[in-house]
Amino acid sequence: MIFFTDLILKRGQSVLLENTSVTIHTGQKVGLVGKNGCGKSSLFALVKGELQPEGGDVSLPKNWAISWVNQETPALEISALDYVIQGDREYTGLMIQLEKANQENNGNQIAMIHTQLDTIDAWTIQARAATLLNGLGFTNEQLSLPVKSFSGGGVCV
């Protein structure tokens, strides 16, 4: 569960939330709706650990993974699926090393990198990325669309 207890959240001199208490239960779906500047993005920044409250308590489960989509998406030509895959730093780093080893025709290095790729289950990365995007509401047809074609909006899962 997520708990906000007597939360006070400010941006500059503006008080966005004052003495606010909320409990969000596991599995509960919550939407934030409000005018520009009312604090929706600031609340997400608080949940992501980018802001600290002026007062009150915030309790987030330690074993939860929090994911989000930024309001502004980069104007990239690559597909949404490839963009998610690029976010896997270990996989991306190994693929760069593999390309270099192939260019150098270094068989030992190629074999070692393939072992590491097996260890991280790299051969299923496209399926895992598609599952992640589907879970965020993207359709299979949208997976191949360029990132620049998507509009923003905060999402927290």
Torsion of CA 72, 74, 80, 84, to 10 degrees: -90
Phi, then psi, of 37 in degrees rounded to 5: 85, 5
Note the pLDDT of residue 137. Answer: 86
Asked if residue 144 lies in contact with residue 83, where contact means CB atoms within 8 angstroms, the answer is no
In the three-class reduction of DSSP (H, G, I as helix; E, B as strand; rest coil), residue 35 is classed as coil
- % residues pLDDT > 90 (the chain): 56
pLDDT at position 21 over 50: yes
Please report the pLDDT score of residue 4 as a whole number.
94
Indicate the pTM of the whole model.
0.54
Average pLDDT value for residue range 129-153? 87
How does DSSP classify residue 79?
B
